[in-house]
A and B are shown apart, each in its own frame.
Chain A
Amino acid sequence: MLGAGPPMLLFCLFIVVPMIAAVLMSFVKWNGLGAPRWAGGANWAEFFSDPVARTSVEVTVKLVVLSYVVQTPISLGLGLFTAGRQRYKTVYATIFVLPLLMSTAGIALLWESLLDPNFGALTALSKSTGLSFLNQNWLGDPHLTLYVVVAIIAWQFIPFHTLLYAVGRRQVPQALYEAALLDGASPWQMLWRVTLPQLRYTIVTSGILMIVGSLTYFDIIYIMTDGGPGYTTRVLSLDMYNVAFLQDQYGYASVLAVILSVVGIAIAIGLVRFSGFASMASQQEGAA
C-alpha cells in the first residue's frame, strides 16, 4: 500500500495505455471484430471531408464559447455575493450548491420533464400565468435547442464555479480593501482595482475547467437531445461516441478523440501561459 506503485499501475494501465492506443488507433481501420488494418492518414483525411464532423466542430465551438460567456459573469457575481459572512448569505450559498449534488443523468431527466411541450411544468406555468414565451418546443426547435442545452449545463456547473470564486474572494487580504477605502475608492473601483486582479488565478482556473469541460461535454446532450434536432446539438464527443459505438469505426472515432484531447490540452496550456499563471510544477512547490 505504501508507495507510488499501485496508483501508477492503475493510472498507466487505464489512462496512459488507452491514450497511446487512441493515437495508434487513429491510423487503422477497425470495426472491433476482425484484425485492424493499417490505414495511414485515411481516417485523418476523412475528418477533414466529413460534413458531420464539420458541423460537430461548429456546434462544439458554439457550446464552449456560449458556456464560457454565460457561466463566467454569473459565477463571478454569485461567488462575490456568497463570499460574505452574513447569515443569509450562508443560506443562499447552501441552496446554490444543491445542483452540484445531482448526477448529470438526474439533471437531464429533471429538465426533460420541466421542458416537455405537452405536460411540462413550464408549459403549465405558461398557461396559468399567461406568459406565452414559456410555451416553446424547447428540445425540438432547431433554433432553440442548443441554447437550452447551454442553459442547463450552466445550471449544472455555475454552482461549482460560484464556490471557486467565493473561496478565491475570501483569500483576498482584507488589508487591501482597507487601504483602498482610505484612498477613497468607490465599491466599483475596489471591484476593478482590487478584487478582479486578486482573483486572476481563480479566473484562469475556473476558465480552464469551464472550457475544457464544455469541450468534452457529453452526458446531458446524449440523454436529452442525442444531438438533435437534426445535427444542431451534435457536439464532437457525441459524434465520437456514435462513430465508435453505433457505427463501429474505432479508427475514425480515435481521430476525433485525439483532436478533442489535443485541443483541450492546448487551450489549457495556452491559458496558463497567456495569463502567466504559475504552472502546475510550481504549484506543487507551494509557489501558487
Chain B
Amino acid sequence: MRRRFTVGKAVALVLATIWLVIVAAPLYYMILASLRTQGTYLTSSPWIPSGSLSTSSYGTVFDAGLGRYLLNSVVLTAVCVVLTVTISLGAAYRIVRRRSRAVSASFTVMLFGLAIPVQAIIVPMYVLIYKMHLYDTLFALILTLSAAAVPVSVLIMVSFVRDIPRELIGAMLVDGGGEWTVFRRLIWPLSRPVLATLAIYDGLNVWNNFLLPLVLTQSSSVAVLPLGLTKLEGLYSVNVPAVMAGVLLSVLPLLVLFIFMRRQVMNSLGGMIAR
C-alpha cells in the first residue's frame, strides 16, 4: 500500500503532537525544577533553563533519607519478583502437567482473584498482618504484594507453559528424565523470555504500589519510595526542587531499565493483557 499524505494523517499527527507535549512538558518541568535551589526556583521561570542550575537538591533528599527508601524499594521489589515469578512458573507447570481436580480447582480460584481489588480487602489484610505481628515490616509487604501478584502471574505462566509442545516433554520423560529434570532442562530455559516480561510487569507494580505500604507500615526505616516521597513532601512542602529531585530519583531506576530494554518493557506492559 502506498502511503499518501492526507488531511486525516495531518490531523492525526497534530493531535498526537499535542498529546506529546501534554506528556513531555510536566516531565521536562520536573527535571528542570529539580536542578534549581529553593531560592532560584522562586525567582526564575519554571519553563526556561536560564540562570543558575545546581544539583544540590539531590543532596538534600539523600540527607532526608531517600537512600533508605530507595534501598527498601529495591529489596522489596527484588524479593517479590523472584518469589512471584518462581512460584508462578512452578505452579503453572504443575497445573498444565497434572490435571487433577484439586489443581484445576485452585486455578479457577486464582482466576477469581483477578477480579478482587486490593482496596476491597485492605481492612482485613491490615488486621491479619497486625495479628501476625508483621505490622510495620518489609516482610508484610513482601507477603501481601506477592500474594496480590499471584493471579495474574499464574494466568500468564499457564498460558505460556500450555504452548510448550507435549512431545518435547514426553521425549524427555522417555529418555529417563524425571519431572524435575524436565522442569530444569526444558521449561525453565524455554520460559526465560516470558519470565523477563512477567518480572518487569510485577516489578513495576510492586515498585510503585502505594496503598499497601501506606496501610501496613509506618516507620521511616521501612518506608518504600512512593510512601517516602510523601514523607519527603511533608518535610519539604515548600522546597519544590527537593521534592522534584526525589520524584525523579524514584523513577530513575525504571527509566534506566526502560532505556536498555525498551521493547521488552513495552511488550510486558501492553502485550501481557492484550494477548
Contacts and interface: CB of A to CB of B under 8 A. Distances in A.
Interface string B178-221: 01100100000000000000000000100110110011000000
Interface stretch (A40-48, A50-58, A91-99, A132-140): A91-99
A65 interface: no
A148 interface: no
Interface residue range, chain A: 35 or more
A45 B66 CA distance: 46
Contacts of B207: 103
Contacts of B50: none
Contacts of B120: 19, 22, 216, 257-258, 260-261, 264
A96 B23 contact: yes
Interface residues of B, number: 99
Interface stretch (B51-59, B169-177, B224-232): B224-232
Contact of B227 (A98, A105, A160): A105
B262 interface: yes
A247 B123 CA distance: 13
B252 to A, nearest CB: 10
Interface of B: 1, 6, 8, 12, 15-16, 19-20, 22-24, 26-27, 29-30, 33, 41-42, 45-47, 84, 86-88, 90-91, 93-95, 103, 106-107, 109-111, 113-117, 119-128, 143-144, 146-148, 150-151, 153-155, 158-159, 162-163, 179-180, 183, 204, 207-208, 210-211, 214-215, 225-227, 229-230, 233, 240, 243-244, 246-247, 250-251, 254-255, 258, 262, 265-266, 269-271, 273-274
Given A97-B266, A257-B120, A18 B125 contact: yes
Contact of B124 (A10, A22, A222): A22
B27 A103 contact: no
B187 to A, nearest CB: 10
A257 B94 contact: no
B124 A212 contact: no
Contacts of A166: 270
Pairs A-B, 6 closest by C-beta atoms: A163-B270, A14-B147, A21-B124, A105-B226, A261-B120, A18-B124
Contacts of A264: 115, 117, 120
Contact of B274 (A22, A74, A111, A167): A167
Contacts of A38: none
Contact of A163 (B117, B246, B266): B266
Contacts of B163: 286
A163 B123 CA distance: 33
A113 B33 contact: yes
